[in-house]
Amino acid sequence: MTELTLVSHHLCPYVQRAAIALLEKGVPFRRRLVDLAHKPDWFQALSPLGKVPLLLVEAPGESQAVLFESNVICEYIEETATGPKLHPTDPLERARRRAWMEFGSAILGDVWSLETARNQDGYEEARRKIAAKFARVEDVLGEGPFFAGGGFSLVDAVFAPIFRYFDLFDDLAGPAPFADLPRIVAWRRALAGRPSVKAAADADYPQRLRDFLVRHEAFLLMQAA
């Protein structure tokens, strides 16, 4: 049997999307955590970009394969694992979903700017970018509960970790930049209740995220005063 190890970091949203895909497919896997502030030699040797996630694939009689980049890992899981399909069979619709996965990654870039901003101007600019991007997503969402209707997909696996940030950010700074978008709000709620989404991050995730904000002297923390 092929053994899978997901090389992870506690806070990484890209790790979470890979974990969600594995959990949705019911694929057994191990996690191996890495401190990205002090990257061990074995990790540096395996990761071409020095980033997580990595998926280590070990099959009997074969040398270990190393996959990097979360979307590549998710696609591999979709193509090799049994379980519910997370991508459509139609090529055009599948390409469309992949495009929105990339759009989700762009939103994560704005979230990074939001959480690491040290002044109001940077913070407000990041909020505006997040709001504008989610307004575009609102326009393509259907009746839900998920991105493409009733079936959970890889697009959902990409966006669920984005929404997780705002579980803490809402407490610190009030309603999220997408709080006035009803379809987005309903989608967020549906994803939050998904077992795979809940299991993709550890129970101490909120405290670790708060600690991250403290280390980065985030302007976001000042909103809670």
What number is the average pLDDT over the span 48-77? 96
Considering all CA atoms of the chain, what is the largest pairwise distance in Å, rounded to the nearest integer? 58
Residue 63, domain CATH: 3.40.30.10
The DSSP line for 165-218 is: HHHHHHHHHSS-TTTT-HHHHHHHHHHHT-HHHHHTS-TTHHHHHHHHHHHTT-
What number is the average pLDDT over the span 58-78? 96
What number is the average pLDDT over the span 81-97? 97
Q: Are residues 139 and 187 in the same domain?
A: yes
Q: Are residues 75 and 180 in the same domain?
A: no
12 DSSP 8-state letter: -
Asked, for residue 85, whether it belongs to a domain, the answer is no
Q: Are residues 64 and 99 in the same domain?
A: no
The model's confidence at residue 224, banded by pLDDT at 50, 70 and 90, is: low
Cα separation, 12 vs 21, whole angstroms: 15
Is 90 exposed, middle or buried, given 0-12, 13-18 or 19+ CB atoms closer than 10 A?
Answer: exposed
Q: Are residues 70 and 131 in the same domain?
A: no
Catalytic site residues? 12
Q: Are residues 113 and 76 in the same domain?
A: no
Cα separation, 175 vs 165, whole angstroms: 12
Asked, for residue 186, whether it belongs to a domain, the answer is yes
> What is the spatial order of strands in the sheet that 3-8 belongs to?
30-33, 3-8, 54-58, 65-68
The DSSP line for 129-157 is: HHHHHHHHHHHH--S-SBTTBSS--HHHH
In the numeric block, which tokens belong to residue 51? 């980033």
Asked, for residue 60, whether it belongs to a domain, the answer is yes
Q: Are residues 113 and 218 in the same domain?
A: yes
Three-class HEC string of 28-95: CCEEEECCCCCCCHHHHHHCCCCCCCEEEEECCCCCCEEEECHHHHHHHHHHHCCCCCCCCCCHHHHH
Domain count, the chain: 2
Q: Are residues 70 and 97 in the same domain?
A: no
Q: Are residues 72 and 183 in the same domain?
A: no
Specify the pTM: 0.96
Residue 104, domain CATH: 1.20.1050.10
Q: In this predicted model, what pLDDT tens digit does every residue of 39-50 receive, in sequence order? A: 999 999 999 999
Asked, for residue 213, whether it belongs to a domain, the answer is yes
The model's confidence at residue 72, banded by pLDDT at 50, 70 and 90, is: very high
What is residue 223's predicted lDDT score, i.e. its pLDDT?
Answer: 80
Last residue of one domain, picked from the residues 20, 48, 80: 80
What number is the average pLDDT over the span 139-167? 97
Last residue of one domain, picked from the residues 80, 109, 127: 80
What is residue 193's predicted lDDT score, i.e. its pLDDT?
Answer: 98
Last residue of one domain, picked from the residues 80, 102, 132: 80
The model's confidence at residue 1, banded by pLDDT at 50, 70 and 90, is: confident
Is 131 exposed, middle or buried, given 0-12, 13-18 or 19+ CB atoms closer than 10 A?
Answer: middle
Q: Are residues 161 and 216 in the same domain?
A: yes
Q: Does residue 184 surpass a pLDDT of 60?
A: yes
Asked, for residue 86, whether it belongs to a domain, the answer is no
Asked, for residue 108, whether it belongs to a domain, the answer is yes
Cβ atoms of 16 and 160 within 8 Å: the answer is yes
Cα separation, 97 vs 93, whole angstroms: 6
Domain of residue 143 covers 91-222
